[in-house]
């Protein structure tokens, strides 16, 4: 399926700002930014942060053919849970749902979506990064216009409730890159990533920048506790909001 096909056929989970489900929306509809829809439509997403046994993080460069945010470096995999998938990818996490479960966030569907997309984008064989290896940490709510690609009148952007999933693998994870999705990959330690953030010629996704600034470095520092399920971050019911860096504000966002 081409990038254009997925824009029309993938049915995303549209939500309110509190993560209550509104219903389905095409990827095209959810990501269209304009004077009428200056922040598109809020929808569910997930971001996978994948680590090796040396606690190095896998970062990826989005392919140049991506419609939204091409050529930017970001975390291992960033995409959307969808309707009509097997296994089920739709989690029920309205405030009422969470209260009925004594504060527990559902994330099984987001993890199934992560497995599907790790296979699609990076050729990670399902089972080599199993469902049980993922640790759900928290949710971020952010938006960003793709002005870096399209300029001040950018027709595309992101507006997501983003489920953060960490996984650490003890052995090698063989990767077979899908060239329509990923251009390059790199395993980095904290010092390397910090130095890359300072390089002026590199582009970074707005969600990765925001996540790392707000909580990402802290999560990385506590990776052992997170993987062992002993981190309080794994029980976070708050949705953490951030605006994008200024360069991701389009004319209609100001």
For 23, 35, 88, 110, 173, the CA distances from 85, given in Å and listed in that order, are 15, 33, 5, 11, 25
- Tell me the C-alpha distance between 101 and 47, whole Å: 24
Q: What is the DSSP string of 96-156?
A: HHHHHTTTPPP-HHHHHHHHHHHHHHH---TTTS-GGG-EEEEEEEEEEE-HHHH-TT-SB
Distance from C-alpha of 155 to C-alpha of 30, rounded to nearest angstrom: 11
Q: Which residues are part of the catalytic machinery?
A: 78, 160
Phi-psi region of 208 (alpha: psi -120 to 50; beta: other; left: phi over 0): alpha
């Amino acid at each position: 399926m081409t990038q254009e096909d997925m824009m029309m056929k993938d049915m995303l989970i549209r939500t309110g700002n509190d993560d209550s489900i509104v219903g389905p929306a095409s990827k095209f509809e959810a990501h269209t930014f304009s004077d009428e829809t200056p922040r598109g439509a809020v929808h569910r997403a997930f971001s996978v942060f994948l680590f090796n046994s040396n606690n190095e993080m896998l970062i990826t460069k989005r392919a140049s053919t991506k419609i939204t945010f091409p050529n930017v470096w970001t975390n291992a995999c960033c995409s959307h849970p969808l309707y009509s998938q097997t296994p089920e990818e739709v989690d029920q996490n309205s405030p009422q749902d969470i209260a009925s479960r004594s504060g527990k966030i559902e994330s099984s569907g987001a993890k199934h979506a992560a497995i599907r997309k790790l296979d699609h984008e990076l050729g990670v064989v399902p089972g080599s990064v199993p469902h049980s290896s993922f640790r759900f940490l928290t949710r971020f709510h952010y938006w960003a216009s793709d002005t870096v690609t399209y300029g001040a009148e950018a027709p595309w952007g992101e507006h997501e409730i983003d489920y953060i999933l960490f996984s650490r693998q003890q052995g090698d994870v063989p990767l077979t890159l899908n060239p329509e999705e990923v251009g390059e990959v790199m395993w980095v330690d904290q010092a390397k990533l910090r130095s890359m953030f300072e390089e002026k010629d590199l582009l970074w996704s707005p969600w990765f920048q925001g996540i790392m600034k707000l909580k990402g470095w802290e999560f990385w520092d506590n990776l052992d506790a997170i993987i062992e399920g002993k981190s309080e971050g794994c029980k976070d019911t708050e949705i953490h909001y951030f605006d994008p860096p200024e360069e991701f504000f389009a004319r209609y966002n100001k």
